[in-house]
């Protein structure tokens, strides 16, 4: 009997193209009932996987024969969508009438139909449904109830056909059960989260929408508690407890992955980056490990954390707490006066942190706060050496073309129920830790690449030719020199653009547009370098308490330290490919959830500022209005109908909304008034202030 690949080969040869199932059976000489049943099963499976499709007469054919393109639908709240192509080609525009029942997140096959701009597509068939559950607000109608989805890109409401009872206006989680042709999708309510617009209910909805896990299963907790109860013994590990080792983290941090130690040497510096040895406590394949793999990463919200590991490990046995012996995997580096690592080794160690320092305290010490300098006199010389080494490393990275994207991060705090929002400050202490972690990550990745080990690299590919060309055209419109080839842009060329604008008003504008031209970093079993850091070899090694890829890296390194490098391919070869995809997806979900919750808290915060005026700058331009960001990172939309009356034209490639008398582009200063705050949609609306 034929298998799927043999069957497809007959299609590729042309023998079976545009044939119905009975004719295919005849051509293949399959006459028995059992043989025909097996053949028809193979055909249906190939069709469900998108390897075969049916033409308009119901005949089987390969998608390539019809010129079909595989991809994922990205919906839009206004009813249309885009096809994000699997082959990396330019997105296709999908008008509402061309979706043919496809919804946001669905995997589809589509064909290019051209349209006015030549980039219009039409869905041919749906291969897989992307959203099985969603959250939204329930409303009653005389013929039943409906859920309006929170996910605005899922543009269809869901008709409720069963499940739990809910009151109108309640936030619910609904499981999709049917997709009737030409009608709203159907679903059942599986959880009632609270009243729509309530802060806790809205946070819960975001958690559910990203399928994030809140509670640990009992077997994972038991596994973690047993491991956490083990005493710390030196064994054959290197003893670093006599070194001056400190942690530097945020004021409210509770888990400490990394600790550092620096000493001046005759040739430069001895830098030790000590990372919590989570692999000692989390056995591969155990209950705690399986749960950590599913979570992929810790998720941080303003008032809570969804940790990757149970608290007895994340805040306890694994955390490098002050004054307590802790197991580490340590990267010991000799760094010369130019920032080059001349020697390095990776060892298992035991440390005892002598001080739990914060970014605020270390920055204050190094900026001359006399009280702090007296309080921490014992570690002050080392902190000054750390600063000097960090400056060397920053200069080295800048020289090789590393791109310093200055993106303001929000700092959201809650005290006695009151929310405060501000731009997070970054002092010299942040740069110290950042430089040391980057150097350790590069050193470890280079070590693994030298052994040709199966590995999980952190890669950041260069911008596509299309995006780089668009960015170059934008720079030229601004009068900024842009000497690079869009088909092969190098990090140093982007870095030099920013460096040329240092201290100039345009830098922030160019910084924003440059960021949008770049791809997203991800995990990969192949070393493709890191464009943003201008690094030839990079990984994530320094945060195994909160990131699963780092834990994988630790296990692979441990295999080498145990003399088992030869068996690493068998142990990790297939695993790193699947884990890279899984960890990248976990990171995406966590990022989206964190941004959504931050946006929710910002809306809640701005409700107390309705009617107030603020100075801001345009951060985004669309055909329907402009987004304006405030210094505290809050962002709101001015709809086009609320802009000064004019005949506006949206020029996408120039990020410009141009009228006869007025125009708006990224970076323009605007004074705004807060007009509306919608908690349900997490949107803030501005209008121009009266005096402009």
* pLDDT, mean of residues 672-690: 94
What pLDDT shows up at residue 404? 81
* Confidence check: pLDDT of 98 > 70: yes
β-pairing, 170-178 with 238-239? unpaired
* pLDDT, mean of residues 323-332: 98
Confidence of residue 365 (pLDDT cuts 50, 70, 90): very high
What pLDDT shows up at residue 393? 98
| pLDDT tens per residue, range 453-491 | 999 999 999 998 988 998 998 898 888 888 899 999 998
* Confidence check: pLDDT of 692 > 60: no
Query: What are the Cα distances from residue 591, in Å, to 134, 206, 284, 584?
Result: 18, 12, 26, 10
What pLDDT shows up at residue 142? 67
What pLDDT shows up at residue 571? 93
Q: Please, are residues 510 and 475 in contact by the beta-carbon 8 Å criterion? A: yes
More confident: 118 or 101: 101
> Quick check: pTM over 0.95?
no
What pLDDT shows up at residue 297? 98
| pLDDT tens per residue, range 213-241 | 999 999 999 999 999 999 999 999 999 99
* Confidence check: pLDDT of 550 > 90: yes
Q: Which of 116-125, 191-200, 334-343, 438-447 has the lowest mean pLDDT?
A: 116-125
Write the DSSP assignment of 646-669 as a string of letters. Answer: ---EEEGGGTEEE-SS-EEETT-E
Q: What is d(CA 34, CA 31) in angstroms, rounded to the nearest whole number?
A: 9
Q: Please, are residues 79 and 102 in contact by the beta-carbon 8 Å criterion? A: no
Q: What is d(CA 130, CA 147) in angstroms, rounded to the nearest whole number?
A: 18
What pLDDT shows up at residue 1? 61
**To the nearest whole percent, how much of the chain has pLDDT over 90?**
84
| pLDDT tens per residue, range 129-166 | 999 999 999 998 867 799 999 999 998 999 999 999 99
Q: Which of 183-187, 515-519, 672-676 has the lowest mean pLDDT?
A: 515-519
Q: At what angle do helices 568-606 and 199-209 cross, to 10 degrees?
A: 150
What pLDDT shows up at residue 261? 98
| pLDDT tens per residue, range 513-541 | 898 889 999 999 999 999 999 999 999 99
What pLDDT shows up at residue 654? 83
What pLDDT shows up at residue 691? 58
Query: What are the Cα distances from residue 150, in Å, to 44, 173, 235?
Result: 35, 10, 54
Q: Which of 172, 150, 148, 145 is nearest to 161 (CA)?
A: 145
Domains, the chain, with CATH or none: 4-63 (1.10.10.10), 67-128 (2.40.50.140), 133-209 (2.40.50.700), 218-222+237-457+534-595 (no CATH), 610-688 (2.40.50.140)
What pLDDT shows up at residue 87? 86
What pLDDT shows up at residue 22? 93
Q: What is d(CA 571, CA 193) in angstroms, rounded to the nearest whole number?
A: 43
Q: Which two tokens stand for residue 594?
A: 């964190």
* Confidence check: pLDDT of 509 > 90: no
Cβ neighbours of 242 (radius 10 Å)? 8
| pLDDT tens per residue, range 571-607 | 999 999 999 999 999 999 999 999 999 999 999 999 9
Cβ neighbours of 305 (radius 10 Å)? 15
């Amino acid at each position: 009997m034929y298998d799927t690949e043999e069957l497809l080969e007959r299609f590729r040869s042309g023998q079976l193209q545009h044939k119905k199932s009975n004719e295919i059976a005849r051509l293949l000489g399959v006459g028995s009932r059992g043989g025909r049943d097996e053949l028809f099963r193979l055909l249906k499976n190939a069709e469900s996987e998108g390897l075969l499709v049916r033409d308009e007469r119901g005949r089987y054919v390969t998608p390539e024969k019809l010129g079909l393109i595989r991809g994922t639908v990205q919906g839009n709240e206004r009813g249309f969508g885009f096809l994000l192509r699997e082959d990396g080609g330019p997105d296709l525009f999908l008008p509402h009438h061309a979706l043919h029942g496809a919804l946001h997140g669905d995997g589809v096959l589509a064909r290019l139909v051209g349209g006015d701009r030549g980039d219009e597509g039409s869905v041919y068939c749906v291969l897989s449904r992307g959203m099985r559950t969603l959250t939204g607000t329930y409303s009653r109608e005389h013929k039943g109830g409906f859920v309006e989805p929170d996910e605005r890109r899922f543009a269809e409401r869901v008709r409720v056909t069963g499940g739990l009872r809910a009151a109108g206006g309640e936030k619910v989680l609904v499981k999709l059960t049917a997709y009737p042709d030409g009608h709203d999708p159907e679903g059942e309510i599986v959880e009632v989260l609270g009243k729509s617009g309530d802060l806790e209910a809205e946070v819960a909805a975001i958690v559910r929408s990203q399928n994030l896990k809140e509670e640990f299963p009992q077997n994972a907790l038991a596994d973690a508690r047993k491991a956490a109860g083990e005493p710390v013994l030196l064994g054959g590990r290197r003893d670093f407890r006599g070194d001056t080792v400190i942690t530097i983290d945020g004021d409210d941090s509770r888990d400490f992955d990394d600790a550092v130690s620096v000493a001046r040497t005759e040739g430069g510096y001895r830098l030790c980056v000590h990372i919590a040895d989570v692999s000692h406590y989390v056995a591969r394949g155990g209950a705690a490990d399986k749960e950590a793999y599913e979570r992929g990463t810790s998720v941080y919200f303003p008032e809570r954390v969804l940790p990757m590991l149970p608290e007895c490990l994340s805040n306890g046995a694994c955390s490098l707490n002050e004054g307590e012996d802790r197991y580490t995997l340590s990267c010991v580096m000799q760094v010369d006066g130019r920032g080059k690592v001349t020697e390095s080794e990776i060892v298992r160690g035991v440390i005892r942190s002598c001080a739990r320092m914060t970014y605020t305290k270390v920055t204050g010490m190094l900026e001359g706060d006399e009280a702090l300098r007296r309080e921490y006199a014992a570690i002050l010389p080392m902190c000054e050496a750390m600063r000097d080494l960090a400056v060397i490393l920053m200069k080295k990275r800048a020289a090789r073309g590393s791109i310093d994207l200055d993106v303001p991060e929000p700092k959201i705090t809650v005290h006695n129920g009151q929310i405060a929002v501000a731009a997070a400050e970054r002092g010299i202490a942040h740069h110290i830790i950042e430089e040391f972690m980057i150097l350790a990550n590069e050193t470890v990745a280079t070590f693994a690449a030298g052994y040709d080990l199966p590995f999980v690299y952190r890669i950041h590919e260069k911008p596509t030719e299309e995006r780089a060309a668009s960015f170059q055209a934008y720079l030229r419109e601004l009068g900024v020199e842009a000497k690079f080839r869009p088909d092969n842009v190098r990090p140093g060329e982007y870095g030099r653009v920013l460096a040329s604008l240092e201290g100039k008003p345009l830098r922030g504008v160019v910084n924003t547009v440059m960021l949008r031209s770049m791809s997203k970093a991800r995990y990969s079993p192949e070393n493709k370098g890191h464009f943003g850091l201008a690094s030839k070899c990079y990984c994530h090694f320094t945060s195994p308490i909160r990131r699963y890829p780092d834990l994988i890296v630790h296990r692979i390194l441990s295999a080498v330290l145990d003399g088992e490098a030869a068996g690493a391919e068998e142990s990790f070869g297939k695993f790193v490919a699947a884990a890279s995809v899984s960890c990248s997806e976990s990171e995406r979900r966590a990022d989206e959830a964190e941004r959504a919750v931050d946006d929710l808290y910002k809306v809640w915060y701005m409700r107390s500022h309705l009617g107030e005026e603020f100075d801001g700058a345009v951060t985004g331009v669309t055909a329907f209005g402009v987004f304006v960001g405030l210094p505290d990172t809050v962002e709101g939309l001015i709809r086009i109908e609320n802009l000064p009356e004019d005949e506006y034209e949206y020029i996408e490639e120039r990020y410009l909304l141009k009228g006869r008398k007025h125009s708006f582009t990224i970076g323009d200063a605007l004074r705004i008034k807060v007009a509306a705050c919608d908690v349900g949609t997490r949107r803030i609306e501005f209008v121009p202030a009266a005096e402009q």
